[in-house]
Each structure stands twice: as C-alpha cells, then as structure tokens.
Amino acid sequence: MKNVIAWAAFAATVGLAAPACAADMVFVSWGGTTQDAQKAAWAEKAGLSVLQDGPTDYGKIKAMVEAGKVTWDVVDVEGDYAVQAGDAGLLEKLDFSVIDKSKLDPRFVTDYSVGSFYYSFVIGCNQDAVKACPKTWADLFDTAKFPGKRAFYKWSAPGVIEAALLADGVAADKLYPLDLDRAFKKLDTIKKDIVWWTGGAQSQQLLASAEAPFGSFWNGRLTALEKTGVKVSTSWDGNITAADSLVVPKGSKNKAAAMKFIAYASSAKAQAEFAAASGYAPTNLGSPALMDPALAKTLPDQQTAKQINADMTYWAKNRDAIGTRWYAWQAK
C-alpha cells in the first residue's frame, strides 16, 4: 500500500489545531501538475472555500476513519481502491440527488465514488536520448533491442503486471484473471533494468534527465512534460486504461460541501477544463463536445483502437494479495 504512514505520525497530526484559514472542506490529491489542474478547474470554481492537502494516502484514510478524526473531505484515489474501500466501510455513500450521474461514464460510478479522470499507461520515450523508441510492450521488455534503464510504476496497481503479460504474448481479452506466475517470470527478465517511480513528478524527471530514457507512464504526465520542451514520443499501442475516483472518507464533517464539490468537479464543464489542462480524459460523457476537437483527439478516450481496460473489480478483490507478492518480489 502506497505512502502508508506510521500510526505515531498520524496521531501527532490529528491533535493539531484547525487551520488558521476557515474552509468549507479539504480536497486531497496526488500533488504536482495533476492537483494544480484540479485546483484551477474545480476547487477555485465550485463556489466553496477549498483547502488543498496531499498526497493521497490510503493508510491515513484508514487511520482517520478508525480513530473517528477525519480531516479530509474529498479525496482523489485509484479506482480499484475506491471499490475496495467502499466495501470495507471506509467511505460515505455519495448523494446522487446532488451529484448528477446521468452523464457520467458508468464504468467509473459506484455507490461510493465517481470518476475523477480517465488515464492510460502508455509507453513514453525521450527521443533525444536514444537512437530508437520502443513502440509496444514487447519492445519495452526487449533489452537487446532497446538497452538501458526503463521506468515503471512502483506500487501494486493496474498497469505493470498487465504490461508484462501483454509483452509475453497474452491476448488482451485473455488477461484476467492475471497469470501472476507468468507475469513475474517476464518481469524477472528486466528487473535489473527497472527504475521505479512513485509519483508522476518523479516519472517526468526520470524521463527528462534520461536516467530512464523510456518506460511506462501516465499519459497526462507525458503531455505536461512535452509542454516544457522535452522531445517526448508517446506510443498508445496497447495503452492500459484506468480511472481515478473521487470519494468521501467515512465520518467527514463537511459532507454537504463534499457532495457539492463532487457535483461540480464531475460536471461536463469542469471535466472539460481539467482534461484540457491535464491531458487526461474526462469521465463526463458531455465534456468532449465542449472541448477543442484537436485537443480531444489526443486524450485516452480517443485512443481506443488498441486499448485495454484494466479490470477494477478484479483488482479490488485481489489488490492486497497481489501487493503482498509484488513487494516481496521487489525486495529480492
């Protein structure tokens, strides 16, 4: 589980006085360019006073709820975690009399969550740092043809295991249930060449510096990096999609404000503005019509020809077991 804080550290924080500036609610996300875009597109326009915090921390959510001292109101989380945490009683049910879900992508809506944004794991490459860029997952696992370090997401979540299986020849429609033995055997072939990234900003730094001149990245981080002048190649071949979700921790003291915030953040206009700023796809089906058509074509929801949807229900049920094996393998 990522960014899990020690109980002592949490206990030290919950006793602090409330922030000096009054706020209607607290919004928590992953930081960096993603949260900057969420702040500009959502928090500053929702008609609420919103305090920013982060990064998202699943251990902290659990500790807050169990201690009955919840200080976060809306949190951006991974989709499989939203399913798992909802089932575990860690989240408030959303008020769909306030939040209009009629135009939201049904893949990313549960009783406890709505989609925050829709992203893809894609193959990214710093074109100035190498002679040739990998285009497929098989290429990325081919150290003879593409020597050098490659970047992958460190945490146990959809993306890397699927990529390993696709690279090993598993058909996209045969991925689930994941063949973990086969996936780890394939990962063993490149383990010494992997540089792990733990967050989007770090992934951008690895690619820009060419410490890892290619690898698996969130598509929006490549879009943002390219805007800084780095010559980035993005391959959508076999892009693996998932969505982040907006949730309300159980025991939030500001539930009414949280529902109002989510209602605005998931609206067509707000989703369109965030998508334009971030490079991630909107989860409101009405958003593309509000966007520049040229920009909309660059987002994951338009890259469906060779797209694989990660199975969030499978991951929610198997996340902990996969995580135990994943971290043990990394530690070897």
pLDDT attached to residue 3: 40
pLDDT in tens, 235-256: 999 999 989 999 999 999 999 9
CA–CA distance, 296 with 292 (Å, rounded to integer): 6
Angle at 176 between CA 172 and CA 332, to 5 degrees: 100
Q: Would you state the pLDDT for residue 303?
A: 80
Cα distances (angstroms) measured from residue 218 to each of 68, 109, 183, 223, 286:
34, 21, 20, 9, 23
3-state secondary structure of 122: strand
CATH architecture of 7-118+243-302: 3-Layer(aba) Sandwich (3.40)
Question: Comparing 1-15, 151-165, 270-284, which segment has the lowest mean pLDDT?
Answer: 1-15
The amino acid present at 298, given as its one-letter code, is T
Query: Got the DSSP string for 274-322?
Result: HHHHHSPBPSBTTSGGGS-HHHHTTSGGG--TT-EE--HHHHHHHHHHH
pLDDT at 233: 96
The domain limits of the chain are 7-118+243-302, 119-242
For 262-278, what is the mean pLDDT?
96
Q: Structure pTM?
A: 0.81
pLDDT at 41 over 50: yes
Q: Spell out the CATH class of 119-242.
A: alpha beta
End-to-end, the C-alpha distance of the chain in Å comes to 18
> Mean pLDDT over residues 280-295, rounded?
93
**CA dist., res. 12 & res. 32, Å (int):** 25
Identify the CA nearest to 225 among candidates 150, 118, 126, 119: 126
pLDDT of residue 176: 97
Q: What is the pLDDT of residue 8?
A: 36
The percent of the chain in helix, strand and coil, each rounded to the nearest 5, is 40, 20, 40
Cα 244 to Cα 76: distance, rounded to the nearest angstrom: 6
Q: Residue 51 CB: number of other CB atoms within 10 A?
A: 19
Question: According to the model, what pLDDT value does residue 294 have?
Answer: 86
CB distance 198 to 152 below 8 Å: no
Q: Give the span between the Cα atoms of 299 and 288, in whole angstroms.
A: 10
Token digits for 92?
């408030």
Q: Do domains 7-118+243-302 and 119-242 have the same CATH topology?
A: yes
Q: Cα angle vertex 267, ends 264, 268, to 5°?
A: 145
User: In this predicted model, what pLDDT tens digit does every residue of 119-176 receive, in sequence order?
Assistant: 999 999 999 999 999 999 999 999 999 999 999 999 888 999 999 999 999 999 999 9
